[in-house]
């Protein structure tokens, strides 16, 4: 399995788990103080950094002498990034241009975080899918 595919899998699972926990907490806990909101978000980001940082370090050591990324890795990454960017752009138009008319504060914040998380999940999901199912250009 290419190291890029493995890395995308780690990203995908980490993003799915951490943001599932985060948004479940946001929905179930309800109204909390701003400090608690920030604390919840910070805990999510720290968990991601620890898992992805550790996985990156382990993979870098294991594949120290292995082959670097090639044209296929780059093309897959470009295609996934382009699709995720379009998704993020649409979501940000809703969050930044439409939501301020009807919502405020933490709702907009959560919607923005959700958009970014969704775009990243789609990006890494596409990378994994293109490695698995193939992509003929």
Partner 1 sequence: MAKKRLRNNLRLMRFLKNEMTQAELGERIGVTRQTIAAIEAGKYSPTLETAFRIAEVFEHPLEEIFQWDIEVQSKTN
Region binding partner 1 by CB under 8 A among candidate stretches 9-17, 40-48, 49-57, 68-76: 68-76
135 binding partner 1? (CB under 8 A): yes
Q: Is 79 in the site for partner 1 (CB under 8 A)?
A: no
- Piece of 11-19, 64-72, 95-103, 119-127 that binds partner 1 (CB under 8 A): 64-72
Among positions 105-134, residues that touch partner 1 (CB under 8 A) are: 133-134
* Residues 6+ away with beta carbon under 8 Å from 122: 80, 83, 84, 87
CA distances from 118 to 7, 36, 42, 84 (A): 18, 23, 18, 8
Q: Which two tokens stand for residue 40?
A: 């919840």
Nearest distance, CB of residue 73 and partner 1, angstroms: 8
Q: At what angle do helices 106-133 and 34-62 cross, to 10 degrees?
A: 20
Residue that has been written with the tokens 């985060």 in this structure: 22
- Choosing from 39, 45, 70, 100, the residue that interacts with partner 1 (CB under 8 A) is 70
Residues that bind partner 1 (CB under 8 A): 1-2, 67, 69-73, 133-137
């Amino acid at each position: 399995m290419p190291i890029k595919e493995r890395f995308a899998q780690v990203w995908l699972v980490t993003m799915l788990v951490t943001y599932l926990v985060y948004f479940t907490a946001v929905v179930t806990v309800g109204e909390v103080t701003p400090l608690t909101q920030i604390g919840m978000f910070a805990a999510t980001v720290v968990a991601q950094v620890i898992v992805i940082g550790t996985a990156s370090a382990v993979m870098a050591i294991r594949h120290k002498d292995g082959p670097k990324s090639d044209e296929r890795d780059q093309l897959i990454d470009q295609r996934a990034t382009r699709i995720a960017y379009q998704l993020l752009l649409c979501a940000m138009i809703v969050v930044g241009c439409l939501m301020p008319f009807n919502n405020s504060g933490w709702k907009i914040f959560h919607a923005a975080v959700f958009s970014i998380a969704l775009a990243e999940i789609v990006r890494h999901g596409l990378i994994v899918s293109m490695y698995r199912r193939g992509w003929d250009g």
